[in-house]
Structure 1
Amino acid sequence: MSEQTIPAYKRWFEETGEQVSFFTAFFRNVFRGGFEWSEFVRQCYEIGYKSITLVGVTSFIMGVVLTLQSRPTLVKFGASSMLPLMVCVSIVREIGPVITAIICAGKLSSGIGAELGSMKVTEQIDAMDVSGANPMQYLVVTRILATTFMIPLLTMMGDVIALFGGFLAVNLADSTSWTLYFNKCINSITFVDLLPAFIKTIFFGFAVGFVGCYKGYNSNSGTESVGKAANSAVVNASLWIFFLDVLAVQITQLLFY
């Protein structure tokens, strides 16, 4: 029976089972001896350092646009002094983590999926397996842990840059000192804002790495599957980010409010 004739619900169950198997294989190899620290550090450099420019530019523009769009409404209600507070809470709680994760899904998931997909279809992964190496530990574990570790750091950096962009945008119409602006920002942030936002970025990072590795590692229909793996990785990682964000909001509401 060809893939086209298999009912959609059966394909969904089959893929879900494959993802669960891939997930368990990942965790088995995390705790197995011989962890590839050098490859992990290299992946942190490739994933984190080489994404700083994209995340920084996007975050800066995001802070400027959010401030400029919000200011007229607050001025109408005589609440322009609340602008730093509103921008800071919006960025730290929601916009910063989600936008950064979506950017990383587009850049990293597609890259990981294409890289592992090309290695799969050219039988490089099979060659590693035959030679006694552990491709799951060397290729998959290091990439997933690197995205899990680096995306929260990129998010924190992006939040700071976005707030700096907001400061510049505020001063386009008003004259607000650096000290006053950031004092208002810092005073508006609480533990309830910071902790859930940081924790969900860890899950965002895991989802970005896991989906990219799964799609690439399971490419098996020729060179055409490399492009499909990259495209599917971006779509699925983005959907997982939105799903995890909704789940995080609901859990935060239950625990802290």
Structure 2
Amino acid sequence: MATPFTPDRLVEILRAEGVRVIEYGQWRTHNRNHKGSFGPINGVMIHHTVSSGTDNSVRLCYDGYADLPGPLCHGVIAKDGSVYLISSGRANHAGAGDRDVLAAVVDERALPAPNDRSADGNTHFYGFECVNLGDGRDPWPEAQLDAIERASAAICRAYGWSAASVIGHKEWTNQKTDPRGFSMTEMRARIDRRLGGEPERPKPTPAPKYEPFPGVAWFKKHPRSPIITAMGRRLVAVGCGAYREGPGPQWTESDRQSYARWQRHLGYRGDDADGWPGRASWDALKVPTV
């Protein structure tokens, strides 16, 4: 039993375990706390998305849909091993499940077969959605399995839990089949081995050089600069270009429309997606130094 991590602490423990963390949209305040409590925390739950493609899957889990509003988990684990954080509070991921399973997780003992739906899992579990069709044929790359192992171990290590605190959605309720395509027993064995030692630190790599944020006022002066060209090329590269010609060095309405697409891609809405660059979205775009 434990209190939820602060957003900063969650990022810290994941990165300390070697997880490649990507902070998505307004994840720090994006939650369902108005619908119920989040905590005490008792474990980690693993899911599959029944979707393909990183961008589509992350956006789906962030926004949810009409019958199930987002966020639908705390982190989305992509096939390349990246973990997109989309919430630090209550999320619609676990739903109702077996209170005997919850008791077993708390006691860190063997799980009984789930047969009722008497406990609220959204209160008690961190949830990770893993990008996979869930058809038993869609592959689980080792990079993705490694990220599941690391993310789960990070939370267990920080709370002082064993791998028995990590379960699959299908072990929580007989209404679900996820995750399908790998064994949760084997995953817990991997987590258990990792918890037997110190976190494996990621190897340092040279830091890439990116253009520092020039400030929103600079853009509103409609500048002419090679920075604008570099920005436009990055927007095209990430699939957000709205250019008929270019991009070029002169800031234009096409640049603003393209940047608004990028902001929406990151999860921003309303005035936060007006096309005028802000520091967080600029840093996420990683415009090369010119």
- TM-score range (shorter-chain normalised) is under 0.3
Structure with bigger strand share is 2
TM-score by length of 2: 0.24
